[in-house]
Amino acid sequence: MPENRFSALFAEADAAFNGKYKMELNELAGLSKEEIDAIAPGTADLKVYLILTQVVEQASKNNVSQAQLVADIKELGDLAVKIARKVPRLGALL
């Protein structure tokens, strides 16, 4: 693919989705709005979900340790932990 202004973004996305937590990231991305709303209806849950997804994406891209990923998720708060537990691979870490 020829280089364009989005080439760096595509490379970054590839690194995240092929990184250490690619399966967890794919499962997290696969959660439905209904599954997320079941935890805490409203816009707060979606905001936390998006931030959680970014945290897992960065952890995957940067090859972060499981302990650091768990600490980062817990730092986001109880809602993030509840959402992460919907993903069996993340739930097992928590």
The residue with greater pLDDT, 26 or 42, is: 26
How many Å apart are CA 48 and CA 3, to the nearest integer? 33
SS3 content of the chain, % helix, strand, coil (to 5): 75, 0, 25
32-86: pLDDT as tens digits: 888 888 887 777 778 899 999 999 989 988 888 999 999 999 999 999 999 999 9
The residue with greater pLDDT, 81 or 3, is: 81
Helices and strands in the chain: count of H runs, count of E runs: 7, 0
Which of 42, 37, 28, 47 minimizes the C-alpha distance to 85?
A: 28
